[in-house]
Amino acid sequence: GELLLSLCYNPSANSIVVNIIKARNLKAMDIGGTSDPYVKVWLMYKDKRVEKKKTVVMKRCLNPVFNESFAFDIPTERLRETTIVITVMDKDRLSRNDVIGKIYLSWKSGPGEVKHWKDMIARPRQAVAQWHQL
């Protein structure tokens, strides 16, 4: 599956807004051939969890539209050591929730993720959207 999200960096406010827009072609994790997806967003600094946010759960949906934004306070001097971890989860009522996929956004992750991070820095105060493979 894939996840569309935007990043908006505001250097004067020392913040990054992560907008979880939508996902498509998510893996069916439930017996009925669907999933109940939601997205967790972790702010990490030097490999330590700082803050967590999450979207609402979309029931029985493999192409959910979330359109939820989360703001994180990140001083400019901490950007190099910051990673935003985005996990698409399947909500289960009876057992543990399943991980559908993960994305690591930072200076040092995969090429698509690094490109998105650098585009965000290069275009302050603009929402920079990009699809990511899960």
What is the length of the chain?
134
15-71 pLDDT per residue, tens? 999 999 999 999 999 888 999 999 999 999 999 999 999 999 999 999 999 999 999
Is 90 exceeded by the pLDDT of residue 73?
yes
Predicted model pTM: 0.95
Other CB atoms within 10 Å distance of the CB of residue 119: 15
- Confidence (pLDDT) at 107: 92
Domain CATH number, residue 113: 2.60.40.150
pLDDT, mean of residues 85-103: 95
Its domain, for residue 48, covers 2-133
Q: Say how many domains are in the chain.
A: 1
The count of C-alpha atoms lying within 13 angstroms of the C-alpha of 63, restricted to the half-sphere facing its C-beta, is 2
- Percent of the chain at pLDDT > 70 equals 100
Measured CA to CA, the distance from residue 78 to residue 11 in angstroms comes to: 12
- Confidence (pLDDT) at 34: 95
- The mean pLDDT of the chain is 96
Phi, then psi, of 122 in degrees rounded to 5:
-75, -20
Smallest CA-to-CA distance from 48 within 83, 86, 89 is with: 83
Is 90 exceeded by the pLDDT of residue 94?
no
Query: Which residues make beta-bridge pairs with 68?
Result: 20
Q: Do the Cβ atoms of 53 and 44 come closer than 8 Å?
A: no
Measure the N-to-C terminal CA separation of the chain; round to a whole number of Å: 6
Other CB atoms within 10 Å distance of the CB of residue 128: 20
